[in-house]
Amino acid sequence: MGSSLGLNPGTLRATIQGTDVLLGGDVILSVNEIQITAASTADQVADVASDSYERIYNCIGALKLGDNLVVRVFREGRVVTLSAPVER
């Protein structure tokens, strides 16, 4: 699905404060209007991420053939909206 949306993957591996990340690609901000929210403390990171991911996973799982998947990303300094119909 990512390739049909036109998502740009990260290409540079880095470790930031002990966490492995890929840099250089799109940063996903929301999926079908479900925002990926930032935690205010390190202790909340896992809970916030888990909640966002679970809601997004359930939303994508409920999409039917032909429904649109809409993803907002931060790309090269601006917010871009990508969309594609569900094909399978």
In a domain, 37, yes or no: yes
pLDDT tens profile 11-29: 999 999 999 988 999 999 9
Q: Is residue 24 part of a domain?
A: yes
Q: Which long-range contacts (CB under 8 A, 24 or more apart) does 70-73 make?
A: 70/31, 70/32, 70/33, 71/5, 71/7, 71/28, 71/30, 71/31, 71/32, 72/28, 72/29, 72/30, 73/7, 73/26, 73/27, 73/28, 73/29
Q: How many domains in the chain?
A: 1
Residue 88 domain flag? no
- Tell me whether residue 51 is in a domain: yes
Tell me the average pLDDT of the chain.
85
pLDDT attached to residue 43: 54
Instruction: Tell me if 27 is assigned to some domain.
Output: yes
Q: Tell me if 25 is assigned to some domain.
A: yes
Given a cut of 60, is residue 80 above it in pLDDT?
A: yes
For residue 67, what are the domain limits?
2-83
Q: How confident is the model at residue 53 (pLDDT cuts 50, 70, 90)?
A: confident
Give the pLDDT band (50/70/90) at residue 85. Answer: very high
pLDDT at 87: 86
| Domain assignment present for 23 | yes
